[in-house]
Amino acid sequence: MAIPCGAGFLRAGGRRHGSTAGLVIADPTLRSPDIDHHDHHRLREQGHVLLSGPFGTAAAVAMLRRIGRLVPQHGGGLAHRVVATSGFERRRYSKSTNAIGVHTEAPGWDPPPRYLALYCHTQAGCGGGHTDLVDGRAFLATLPPETVEKMRSQDVAFPAGRGGFLRRPLLVSADDGEDILRFSYNLLTYGDTEPCLGAEPSLEGSFGGGLAVLAEEFRVRHRTRVLIPEGGLLVWDNWRMLHARLAYRDARRRLTRYWLAK
């Protein structure tokens, strides 16, 4: 059910940043609906891979199953429709048309999904709706060691569903020694992962609020901006990469989101 937002100042839709470096546009080239070792290599080395298609959802799911195991999302389904839905117009949420700042997916899950995938049925034709990807490892490398240490030692209360919270540091080591980055610009700035447009940034000046600003600044300089082609699939490492969404106006935009465990 949609959570109503109180009346407030309606911000202009989304952040717009200067460079279009890294922009990937629709590629109508037919490709075999398979994922090969080059795709696996790209996913491992750069943290993301765009399988441009076009192919259908059945082929997309078969390809994803060669990367990991599909896991249930909020509500229990393996597939989540990402489409502008009535009731969410004033929230920074996947089912709105609003911009969403840098975050990792489901930071309140333990563990969060290892991989995240978006399949595009219909792309926005308005010039918006892009997905920005940011390498979390590269971002961490820009921070002072004492800041990274604080990210490893200081708990954050991440919403975990049904009113509960998961208290974990922003950065933890998984059992296999890999780092898991949990991050939410919205949570660290507004205290809410899905704040209303016009909400007051109540955590500005805090440790987390400062990190959120730095992450957005890093995004401006180092993002990979992707407009997923129709029939294409974008997959990324959700323990490593931050992602964000640009606002859009074309409500025909329709994607399906998948979560994968390793």
Summarize as ranges the residues that interact with Fe ion (CB under 5 A): 105
Question: Hey, CA dihedral for 193, 90, 113, 109, is it positive or negative?
Answer: positive
* Residue 238 C-beta: closest distance to Fe ion, Å: 9
Q: Under a CB-based contact definition with an 8 Å cutoff, are residues 85 and 1 in contact?
A: no
Q: How far is the first Cα of the chain from the last one, in angstroms, to the nearest whole number?
A: 31
CB 81 within 8 A of CB 258: no
Using CA atoms, how far apart are residues 64 and 260, in angstroms rounded to an integer?
8
What gap in Å lies between CA 121 and CA 104, rounded to an integer? 23
CB of 239 to Fe ion, least distance (A): 14
Type of residue numbered 140: L
**Integer Cα distance of 34 and 124 in angstroms:** 26
Q: Which is nearer to Fe ion, 59 or 227 (CB)?
A: 227
C-beta neighbour count of 176 within 10 angstroms: 6
**CB 118, min distance to Fe ion, A:** 9
Q: Which is nearer to Fe ion, 52 or 186 (CB)?
A: 186
In the complex with Fe ion, the residue whose CB is nearer, 59 or 92, is 92
Smallest gap from Cβ 105 to Fe ion, in A, equals 5
18-53 as b/e, with b when 16 or more CB fall inside 10 Å? eeeeeebebeeeeeebebeeebeeebeeebbbbbbb
Q: By Cβ distance, which residue is nearest to Fe ion?
A: 105
Tokens of 44: 């491992």
**Nearest to Fe ion of 59, 124 (CB atom):** 124
Minimum distance from CB of 59 to Fe ion (Å)?
23
Quick check: 34 and 63 in contact, CB under 8 A?
Answer: yes
Query: Residue 105 or residue 135: which is nearer to Fe ion going by CB?
Result: 105
The residue (of 105 and 132) whose beta carbon lies closer to Fe ion is 105
Which pairing describes strands 100-103 and 48-51: parallel, antiparallel, or unpaired? unpaired
CB 146, min distance to Fe ion, A: 29
